[in-house]
Amino acid sequence: MGLFGFQKPHPTTQNATEIPRPRPQSPKPFSAPTVKTPVISREYNNNCLSRKRTLAAIRLHDPQSYFQGGVFQIPFNRIVKFGRDVQLAEAAALRFVAKHTTIPVPKVHCAFEHKHVKYIVMDRIDGEEIGKGWSERPEAERASLLRQLKGYFDQLRNIPHPRPGIIAAVDMQELYEPRTYNGRYGFGPFANEADFNRFLRFGIKDGRGVLKETGEKSLVTAEERSDMRMVVKMQDQLQGTHKICFTHGDASSSNVLVKKGKIVALIDFELSGFYPEYWEYTCAMNVNSQDGFWKAEIEKFLDPYPRELEIEENRRKHFGLRGLRGRWQWK
Percent residues over pLDDT 90 in the chain: 66
Find, among 168, 224, 228, the residue nearest to 196 by Cα: 168
The top-level CATH class assigned to 42-124 is alpha beta
Range in 13-22, 109-118, 119-128, 177-186 the model is least confident about:
13-22
Instruction: Enumerate the CATH 3.30.200 domain ranges in the chain, comma separated.
Output: 42-124
> What CA–CA distance (Å, rounded) separates 275 from 278?
8
pLDDT (average), residues 35-51 = 94
Q: In this predicted model, what pLDDT tens digit does every residue of 158-191 receive, in sequence order? A: 999 999 999 999 999 999 998 887 788 899 999 9
Range in 160-164, 211-215, 231-235 the model is least confident about:
211-215
Q: In this predicted model, what pLDDT tens digit does every residue of 290-328 receive, in sequence order? A: 778 999 999 999 999 999 999 999 998 888 776 666 555
Per the omega criterion (within 30 degrees of 0), is the bond before 29 cis? yes
Range in 26-35, 264-273, 279-288 the model is least confident about:
26-35
Instruction: Enumerate the CATH 3.90.1200 domain ranges in the chain, comma separated.
Output: 126-331
The mean predicted confidence, pLDDT, of the chain is: 86
pLDDT, position 215: 61
The enclosing H or E element of 247 equals strand 244-247
The CATH number given to 126-331 is: 3.90.1200
Q: What residue spans of the chain are helical by DSSP H?
A: 48-61, 63-68, 89-100, 139-157, 193-200, 222-238, 279-285, 306-319
Give 63-128 as a DSSP string. HHHHHH-EEEEETTTEEEEEETT--THHHHHHHHHHHH-----PPEEEEEEETTEEEEEEEPP--E
